[in-house]
Structure 1
Amino acid sequence: MDAEPALIATGLREAGCAGARRLTVALSGGPDSVALLDLAQRALELPDVSAREVAAIHVNHGLQPESDAWAAFCEELCRERGIALTVVPVTVVATGSVEANARDARYRAFADALESGGVLLLAHHFDDQVETWLFRTLRGDARRTMPPHRPLGGGTLVRPLLGVSRQQLLDHLCLHKLDHVVDPSNADTSYSRNFLREAVLPLLRQHDSGFEAKVAAAMRSDTERDELLAALAELDRTPLETDAGVLRLARLAAIPAPRARNVLRHWLSERGFRQPTTRALDAAIAAVATGRRVDIRVADTRLVAYQGLLHAIPRDLAPFEASGRRWQGESELLLGSGRLVAARVSGGIDARSLHLAPIGEGQRLRVHRDGPRRLVRDLMREAGIPPWERERIPLLFDGERLIGVPGFRDSSPVVGASSRVAEGQTGWEFRWWPST
């Protein structure tokens, strides 16, 4: 039985993305993603799909000798179909689980590439869901199924094929004569998921012809449970969360540990982070409850306490790397770690052109004409810039002279006394909005 393009429309509607104007497909070149790409293009013709174009993103992990050939295949496939393709090379950390590290690198690339309000389609299907459920059950995870949709970066990740079998997608490829690549690592049973797929699941299906129906029933029960836990998390989180989306430590410490774990799971999930283990969450909650310093690595996340609030930040935040970039009167500059916004205000900096550079050691700035030259790191702390953001915010230079630090989000900028315009005159004010 063939898969239908209407699945795309249903997935978008259920994710609240029916009005999306562009659909981006995560394209590996394998059979599942090629089938999804074809279905997404066909879905553009449906009356209940608002999108008018399909794009694709291919993440090149560089883990296989064929990696570049797969990227070339995706480029040719998209060229033939008139689809814009973005190829993103990533570096996969060699220590620990290669599977998990590759997944983290892939999803970071997806999140970085997804525009605000954008939709990313992934080709996970029913067989993948069964594998995931069994894998997570054996690992003791609290959440055992992949959600049909969730936030990612500035947009939404949607899995419209979770009700479709692998065989249905293969039938679609055969019916429409669609070519694809084969990743030989999928047959390598030294990887846990591959071992389940190739060795364990065939035995379970052979032993019990109703195995998949029973798993489907269990997954439906898990979904109901997850919906109830999500509702409870929302009730508990409301008095904990600030308008900035961070959690009040004192209030988090006051609720029972199981409910605190539940709040943290849903809070992290809504921010697009990978689900942590119960053990990792328990460590975070214990640190919060005892008042110890909180800076804990949880999956792809750092949980950091700062000024009585709990922040979730990506585990590997990139520093500001656009040294040498210039500002020449633009109202906004997009840089790797965020965006610099400039506006004319009463007061501010007297400048027509500035160059940007990261913070260095021992840098000082005089902010009052009769005051001392103070360490920039101290000024950043007093301005409320969190420690993990201080390496990511660009400093403002006029030639070799440091003249200021942009305001962090809504906080006031730090400006050198000699760089301010005269009273009553108009100058430039700079603010920094981090990308994460």
Structure 2
Amino acid sequence: LTTEAEAREARYAFLAEVKASVSTGVVLTGHTADDQAETVLFRAVRGSGPDGLVGIRPAREDGVERPLLRVWRTDIETYAMRVGLPFREDPSNRDTSWTRNRIRNVILPALEEAVPGAKSSLARLAVLSEMQREALEGLSSLALGQCAVRGSAVEGSFVLDLAVLSAWPDAVIAQVLREAGRRLGLALGSGAVERTLRLIRQGRDGASVDLAGRHAATRSSGALRLGPTPLPAATEGPGAGPRVVIPAAGETGQAQWSAGAGLRRVRWGPCRRASPEGPIVWSEGQGEEARLTPGPPPGEPALKDADAAAVLSAAGLTFPLELRTRKPGDRMEWTGHDRRLKKIMTETGVPSFDRDTTPVLADALGSVLWIPGLTASGHGAETVGPGRGPSSQPAPDWFCVTLSRLEGEAEP
């Protein structure tokens, strides 16, 4: 063993083997308040934040507990000698070639002489840091819930609203980044967190910084994406994503869509208004639960933010329709003008890292009719989603396409 870390891991591996062999529930170690003071001082001079200054935890997730962590070594030795309890001191603890031993045998005694009570203060700092860490964790959990546009370990990435995130102090943002990283299986070091904080506060649109394990933070159109780099093969370049074909106006059907923001269900078919002022429902085959307008009756869940629907005039459609990702040269009638799809996505704030995975609905001629949850073309399409619905004007032949999160999908 060539480092203190390797020796520590070897000790815990041995204890884990012993614990497994005797089928005991816990392993107790003899860490004392002196060990705590040494650890806090060591981490402080290395520039650790609140997590590091917590020092040695009273318990580990693997069943190791430290019941003597608030008791000083001299008090334990005095008690052992008084009751005749034999104990052994590891002679390697006196070897000052190891950093920990130099702190224990040289630096801390000198510090205690210069500043009486220094060891007690360092141990108390660990307790105060634990309180601060708990407060930060609570605030960061609230902040992550507020700013997470979408994301989970299942999806493999997080997308955060920059306006909401940047309103929090840097200490909370740093904890949000660490927590998001932890959920993605990443241990973000102080360097990665500092780089990402600079990206959030000062970065230009389209800029990115490396995190860890081939992951990056990318800033675009008011959003911050934490996820793998390069992007998965299915999202490399326009037109490389999945596609769902809707064959004819009179047909109903459903399929799954998987690109970008996780797994979604696509449904399509003729639709109608249940009454002159009532909700739009499927005409047949989809079930009355498929209400497309907000404000469902009691017993039905409200539309989730990710749900969206298009209500199209069937008479003006050229089938088959296709739900797909964008292709080079895609255009769409928007605000009364024929516009490039890339320009529309830029102006409506679709982040650059989402543009190749955002679904679009196109007709057989290649004209884009709808960007789910964002906008519809002038081809008789009306976007339906949370907080908005189609006009109450009757339409003789409507065709609906919906995109919604599958039940049970992981939330941020």
TM-score range with shorter-chain normalisation?
Answer: 0.3 to 0.5
With normalisation by structure 2, the TM-score equals 0.39
* Higher RCO by CA contacts (8 Å cutoff, separation 6 or greater): 2
Bigger CA radius of gyration: 2
